[in-house]
Structure 1
Amino acid sequence: MRVHADRNRCMAAGHCAVTVPGVFDHGDDGLVVVVDEEPGEELLKELELAVDLCPSRALSLSREEAPG
């Protein structure tokens, strides 16, 4: 699983960093920063909640298969 954040869409509401602090943080400008782009599956429910709570729809998740 891969986490994506569009800083151009982010409005610095902060729900993501409160919901999953090990994956999201705020930069000096208050906008989202992804600190763990490939978190474990055990965080799926929390990540889905963060995506749903984001008022600017700046967050997304994808399931990328490893090459091989």
Structure 2
Amino acid sequence: MGEWTVELDRDKCIGTGMCTSTAPHRFRFDGGKSTPVDGVVEPDEAVIDAAESCPVEAILVRAADGTVLAPEL
């Protein structure tokens, strides 16, 4: 399956903390907004859950081939 890339649009982020509570090992707060701990991660369902739980869809998770895994479109 390969590694996933995790992108977070800080302009969209409203700092609800949903991602940091869903996947605390993958996201952290920085300046009142979330940021990924790492931009490239091993497949981890918690990252998908975090992206799906973001109320403003600020998180984008892609497979190694570029396919969008989350959020579902």
TM-score normalised by the shorter chain: which range applies? 0.7 to 0.9
Which structure's CA Rg is the greater one? Answer: 1
Larger RCO: 1 or 2 (CA < 8 Å, sep 6+)? 1
- The residue number in structure 2 matching 1:64 is 64
Matched AA of 2:61: L
| Equivalent residue for 1:36, pick from 29, 35, 38 | 38
Alpha-carbon deviations, 1:15-55, whole Å to 9, x = none? 1111111110000x2101111111111x1x21111111101
Unaligned runs of 5+ in 1: none
Q: Which has the higher strand share?
A: 2
Runs of 4+ in 1 over 6 A off after TM superposition: none
Q: Which has the higher helix share?
A: 1
- The residue number in structure 1 matching 2:18 is 15
SS at match of 1:33: strand
SS at match of 1:36: coil
After TM superposition, the score normalised by the length of structure 1 is 0.82
How many residue pairs get matched? 62
Q: Percent identity over the alignment?
A: 26
